[in-house]
Structure 1
């Protein structure tokens, strides 16, 4: 359970996001106060109306008429300001939530990739959508309800004390009982709602994982085990949810019980006072109305507190995401350098987990325009080298230089614009084929896009699509084959013609015939450009100027294809393990 200091800190931080829209907050609070004042005046005039009707043939019609007019005005004003309070609350809530969600999304753009990789993506989605909605429903809107409820309680006590000090004091003495009930429920619901929110995030991560890998699940007959994993998490969510709902469901019956005690106390004491002439029958009627109004906010506040507890738990998760350490600022670093294609790695050391060493003492000197192939068994560090070159991850030791400049001295955007990158895992977004190809060059002309598509051997299949280049792709390009998706990814790079290239198994999902054409296209594109090629199929990198053979994070061999084969070492064994037949 979070301490009061933590809760106060979360509240203060949340309302800091609402500060730019405080005019709406002020308007909401003022409207709530005015609405409460008019609603509290209504019982007073109802009591007067009762006193004007003393009995048959003894009715003060003039006084009764004036009272009815006042009542109509009070009800009208109370309704108008109630609407105004809701309007202001909704405005500040939705504007604040919009800013909060934008802040979370922008933070994801500035957080180092390693931070994102360590958090289940479904959990992040759950935080951005469900948790922020919970804050909207509970914390911000509940705050105004809480304020109006407290105002009603204070105002009701004031009016009751002004009518009869004795009866009013009796109600005040019963107040701690209501506060105890509200506190009892709040303490027990917060812990369960916090736990429930965390489990929802865990479930979101699992569902995102399972939905994204349905083919793999079915291929390995993993359905039963995935169902078991879901059942286990769903079971914990059920148990936690039952307890959370149980504690929150205590709100209504407990507050109704307290309401009954207060109403009965007011009725009994008021009746004796009316009989003895201490108050009039009309004032007793006002007291009974106030008794209902006084206890009603406790019921509402208890419900609001339950929502607040859930919202606080969600806010804590949202701020935990916002508080992730961002990438170090690079605004004052170099925004432009002359790229000649020279790349150097000097005594580079890196590991994803500090207790498990991966790359140590890696040195490499790449000449401009060289074609560098990186090969090695799975887990040898091939893709890690690419991550370091692109500065998706920073080296733990040593440095990487491009054109003689340490990459830590240049802006990340500047560094990454030097490379054209094609990965084995393609990524397409929901948009037209044209927009997907032009992703890296926003102002590309139609002629440039078509030329790039032809260079990537994608033009022919694009023309066969229902609307050609205007065909809208579904999320991740699901309405295309995997090979077609990869051809579009290649066309992106063909369009921007970067100074250097990174190809990580770029043709792994393409048929052999098309691959031959693509290799020729890449050969033209790589001419005069420094290129890094990660390959598992060693037949594709025979023409490389330099082949780096990696094993356990180290370069164990380097040289041309013929040189490495003649050594009959690691590369020789790796190569012939693919092509040797007994």
Structure 2
């Protein structure tokens, strides 16, 4: 926790020194101004009202009001500066986490749900901000304020100061009880609201099915339960929120009454204090309730935030991916040297790989793909096709064996070089908020518009793009212009080809397409695959595009291989797949 807070606080202090100064100045000034009004009140009563002196009464009253105003301004500046510093701290932490995210191995993303990762960037980071703003700094300010009030009471009456020390734990535990109860009720409220949102989302997603089968009444009746749960939780929260301030007002009145009885000359015994001192002490005791009450809440906040901070620490302590070596510095600095590697072969030697130290997904795979040839991996779902493609793409390193592209290990290639050597067309192309050009370049500013247009023309997408409202600058993504599924696949292919790589890796590129669009994609692939080394995967024989060699996989091992012509005449896996598909079955 210390590392996260201190490092982000140091960085923020360097960027915002004036804000840090104003924060601590406001804390000190606010505490000082909290103690001035009671002293002025004592002076007004003892030296003016009791003696009938009124000539400077207006001046002292003005000072009293001025102290209250300055105290309010100081509290405002403190809260404002904490908000500014807190947001800068959060921005710094999220930036560091973003850098960390880019350094993590892809296995981290495979082993951790996206919701879990997102929660670290959102709720867990917000916990750090809360810990700083309303937690540590707030507790520091309120603790100093409470101590200042105790000291001020002590100067007026040591005996009453001792009595007031007894009040602090009483106020604290009462406040803590209600804050804990309110928090539990609020958590139930959030959970109930989450159930309501989930129910509505499920209804919207499945509204066609609900309408078709006439299940509206069933869903409406089921909707009543989360609504009732939400009402019950809100009632509990409202009850605690209503009782607590009333209870504190009663407690405040009780304390003041006891103080007057103790201090009054005719009460339990005179303390030798003046009427002005008594009024000042009553004012100070009333003021001590707020900071102690806040400390109880801030202590709860700190306890809740620590778990979030711990999760961020665990994330930042994840092992980085150390994959890039100096072997490619020359090529990375001068990509024109890539021309020497336009004809690259792919070699897999006894490759085995498993995820999460489990059973091997691929076992002892050996495969040589000569430059300029097309090899298709065919097999059922789970046969290991995508895993081999990911290994060749350099996303993972094999647990056993070796993979070479033109003699180089794809896993240790620099990202810039890998993109110029290997073009990857995934089964589902992710679209980020941005323009059509951004979708093709993936925000790489080194790629020119001419290269983008050339890639679009090569895949037959240029005419469709220029018909869009802003052409290549048309925004696509969430809430923006939409393309058809086939156009997205062509866009994916353009993204893979924009750097003119000599190797193409194709992952079920025609999956989910209709027959006409599929044939269009096939035609484009045949045109762009000339003089390129192609490794494609498919779970259907019909998805094979002009392959020079077909490799049949089953349970992570190669069970059959050869040219399509050789395999179709054999009584093997390929012939069975081909026959089943002709009968209309999908594997």
Scaled by the length of structure 1, what TM-score is found? 0.83
1:301 aligns with 295
1:36 aligns with 2:36: no
CA distance in 1, matches of 2:287, 2:229: 40
Change (3 A) 1:549 1:207: farther
Q: In the alignment, is the contact (CA less than 8 A) between 1:486 and 1:510 conserved in 2?
A: no
User: Among 511, 525, 548, which residue is 2:528 paired with?
Assistant: 525
Q: In the alignment, is the contact (CA less than 8 A) between 1:194 and 1:313 conserved in 2?
A: no
SS of the aligned residue for 2:569 comes to helix
SS of the aligned residue for 1:14 comes to helix
Q: In the alignment, is the contact (CA less than 8 A) between 1:429 and 1:477 conserved in 2?
A: no
1:292 aligns with 2:286: yes
How is 1:381-530 mapped onto 2 (pairs within 5 angstroms)? Answer: 381-439=384-442, 441-475=444-478, 479-530=482-533
1:562 aligns with 2:565: yes
How is 1:333-348 mapped onto 2 (pairs within 5 angstroms)? Answer: 334-336=328-330, 339=341, 340-348=343-351
CA distance in 1, matches of 2:221, 2:5: 38
Q: What is the CA-CA distance between 1:155 and the residue it aligns to?
A: 0.6
1:3 aligns with none
CA distance in 2, matches of 1:240, 1:108: 38
Deviations 1:99-127 (A, max 9, x none): 12222333332222232233332343344
User: Among 257, 265, 268, which residue is 1:264 paired with?
Assistant: 257
Q: What is the CA-CA distance between 1:50 and the residue it aligns to?
A: 1.6
1:5 aligns with none
Q: What is the CA-CA distance between 1:498 and the residue it aligns to?
A: 0.9
Deviations 1:379-420 (A, max 9, x none): 101111111112323322222122112334433553344211
1:280 aligns with 274
Q: How many residues align?
A: 570
Change (3 A) 1:216 1:443: farther
CA distance in 2, matches of 1:406, 1:292: 73
Q: What is the CA-CA distance between 1:503 and the residue it aligns to?
A: 0.9
SS of the aligned residue for 2:498 comes to helix
Deviations 1:37-75 (A, max 9, x none): 1221111111211223446xx522344244235334433
Q: What is the CA-CA distance between 1:502 and the residue it aligns to?
A: 0.7
Deviations 1:290-347 (A, max 9, x none): 0101122122222333433443344344444444433225365634556341221122
Q: In the alignment, is the contact (CA less than 8 A) between 1:139 and 1:312 conserved in 2?
A: no
CA distance in 1, matches of 2:186, 2:558: 52
CA distance in 2, matches of 1:200, 1:396: 46
User: Among 5, 11, 18, which residue is 1:14 paired with?
Assistant: 5
Deviations 1:142-166 (A, max 9, x none): 3332222111110111011111111
1:7 aligns with none
CA distance in 1, matches of 2:101, 2:125: 15
User: Among 117, 137, 144, which residue is 1:151 paired with?
Assistant: 144
Q: What is the CA-CA distance between 1:11 and the residue it aligns to?
A: 5.5
Pairwise CA RMSD: 4.2
The gaps in structure 1 that reach 5 residues or longer are 1-9
Q: In the alignment, is the contact (CA less than 8 A) between 1:360 and 1:553 conserved in 2?
A: yes
Change (3 A) 1:479 1:119: same
CA distance in 2, matches of 1:110, 1:234: 44
Q: In the alignment, is the contact (CA less than 8 A) between 1:390 and 1:416 conserved in 2?
A: no
Q: In the alignment, is the contact (CA less than 8 A) between 1:376 and 1:536 conserved in 2?
A: yes
Change (3 A) 1:419 1:217: farther
1:46 aligns with 2:41: yes
Question: Once structures 1 and 2 are overlaid, which stretch shifts more, 305-314 or 199-208?
Answer: 199-208
Change (3 A) 1:73 1:12: farther
User: Among 549, 554, 557, which residue is 1:551 paired with?
Assistant: 554
Q: In the alignment, is the contact (CA less than 8 A) between 1:374 and 1:532 conserved in 2?
A: yes
Change (3 A) 1:94 1:485: same
How is 1:156-305 mapped onto 2 (pairs within 5 angstroms)? Answer: 156-181=149-174, 252=245, 259-272=252-265, 276=270, 278-305=272-299
Change (3 A) 1:89 1:474: same
User: Among 131, 135, 143, which residue is 1:142 paired with?
Assistant: 135
User: Among 359, 365, 371, which residue is 2:374 paired with?
Assistant: 371
Change (3 A) 1:308 1:497: same
Change (3 A) 1:246 1:383: farther
User: Among 325, 336, 350, which residue is 2:319 paired with?
Assistant: 325
CA distance in 1, matches of 2:86, 2:22: 13
Question: Once structures 1 and 2 are overlaid, which stretch shifts more, 551-560 or 395-404?
Answer: 395-404
1:4 aligns with none
CA distance in 1, matches of 2:111, 2:398: 18
Q: In the alignment, is the contact (CA less than 8 A) between 1:336 and 1:414 conserved in 2?
A: no
Q: What is the CA-CA distance between 1:556 and the residue it aligns to?
A: 1.1
Scaled by the length of structure 2, what TM-score is found? 0.83
Change (3 A) 1:232 1:298: same
Q: In the alignment, is the contact (CA less than 8 A) between 1:251 and 1:303 conserved in 2?
A: no
CA distance in 2, matches of 1:465, 1:132: 40
CA distance in 2, matches of 1:388, 1:81: 60
CA distance in 2, matches of 1:114, 1:217: 37
1:351 aligns with 354
The gaps in structure 2 that reach 5 residues or longer are 332-337
Change (3 A) 1:456 1:219: farther
CA distance in 2, matches of 1:305, 1:250: 21
Deviations 1:474-532 (A, max 9, x none): 32977222112112212222322112101112233445445444434323322222111
Q: What is the CA-CA distance between 1:428 and the residue it aligns to?
A: 1.6
1:571 aligns with 2:566: no
Q: What is the CA-CA distance between 1:569 and the residue it aligns to?
A: 0.7
